[in-house]
């Protein structure tokens, strides 16, 4: 389609609403109407009616006086997407079994719009465990899930995923030769094991769920904590449990899924 045709079919109001949603998705503490207008290089008055409609439809909420935040409605809509629903439906029984045997929590993570996103979470059966809310967007460079999602893709796909994560910042200082070598190591051994960059004393254990093309469609991660005075499996045994679980899930889901970067 030519630029002229693109202009002919533009929908300015829709573009404005999508600009707001995409902007709010990338900030933690919400934005005021004036801040939204400044970041999008528009007049504040241009966004009043659009923000009002987004709030009334439940996509955006207004708290702390005059700050607008993205709600989880978009995530809920994404959950209705058939492939994601099917993957979660396959995974939940296996995740529950993994939690019971390992006595650890686990989560299923996919890559979406530049970041790993938690699409399913299984609590540990005992008193102690590390959990992450479903819908959380986590780091690509500093999590076991992010490493696995990158490791089990082609170099070209990795490059696209990293570019999408970095966005306009272009800050590629984390993409070092050492980092790329680590991804190759993860791919060769079949899993990642690394200290959590967010929580002291936690070891992230992650393995890939593979699609029909042999590439990662998801990562299954256990935030492993050492349990005292229990018969819980040690870290080596837990790694094997995760690898076995992802192998089963890959067999169940792989025939119907192909990876998308």
- Domain spans, the chain: 3-71, 76-256
DSSP 69-100: EE-SHHHHHHHTSHHHHHHHHHHHHHHHHHHH
Q: How many whole angstroms separate alpha carbon 98 and alpha carbon 147?
A: 21
Q: Does domain 3-71 match CATH 1.10.10.10?
A: yes
Average predicted confidence (pLDDT) for the chain: 86
Mean pLDDT computed over 32-60: 89
pLDDT band (50, 70, 90) for residue 173:
confident
Question: Which segment of 14-23, 102-111, 125-134 scores lowest on mean pLDDT?
Answer: 125-134
| CATH code given to domain 76-256 | 3.30.450.40
Give per-residue pLDDT as tens, 183-241: 999 999 999 999 998 888 899 999 999 988 888 999 999 999 988 877 889 999 999 99
Which residues lie below 8 Å from residue 212, measured CB to CB, with a gap of 6+? 254, 255, 256, 257, 258
Highest average pLDDT, of 28-32, 169-173, 235-239, comes from: 235-239
Least confident of 68-72, 127-131, 174-178, 230-234: 127-131
Q: Would the pLDDT of 1 be above 50? A: no
């Amino acid at each position: 389609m030519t630029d002229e045709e693109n202009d002919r079919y533009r929908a300015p109001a829709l573009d404005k609403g999508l600009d707001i949603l995409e902007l709010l998705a990338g900030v933690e503490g919400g934005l005021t109407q004036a801040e939204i207008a400044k970041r999008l290089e528009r007049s504040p008055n241009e966004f009043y009616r659009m923000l009002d409609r987004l709030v009334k439809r439940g996509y955006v909420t207004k708290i702390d006086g005059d700050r607008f935040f993205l709600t989880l409605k978009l995530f809920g809509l994404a959950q209705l997407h058939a492939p994601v629903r099917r993957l979660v439906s396959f995974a939940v029984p296996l995740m529950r079994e993994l939690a019971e045997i390992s006595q650890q929590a686990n989560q299923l993570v996919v890559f979406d719009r530049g970041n790993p996103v938690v699409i399913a979470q299984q609590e540990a059966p005992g008193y102690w465990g590390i959990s992450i809310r479903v819908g959380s967007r986590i780091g690509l460079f500093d999590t076991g899930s992010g490493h696995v999602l990158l490791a089990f893709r082609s170099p070209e796909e990795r490059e696209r995923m990293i570019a999408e994560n970095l966005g306009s910042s272009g800050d590629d200082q984390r993409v070092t030769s050492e980092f790329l070598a680590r991804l190759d190591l993860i791919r060769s051994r079949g899993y990642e094991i690394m200290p959590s960059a967010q929580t002291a004393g936690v070891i992230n254990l992650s393995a890939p769920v593979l699609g029909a093309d042999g590439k990662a469609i998801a990562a299954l991660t256990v935030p492993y904590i050492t349990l005292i005075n229990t018969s819980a499996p040690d870290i080596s045994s837990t790694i094997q449990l995760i690898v076995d679980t992802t192998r089963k899930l890959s067999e169940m889901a792989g025939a119907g899924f192909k990876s998308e970067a």
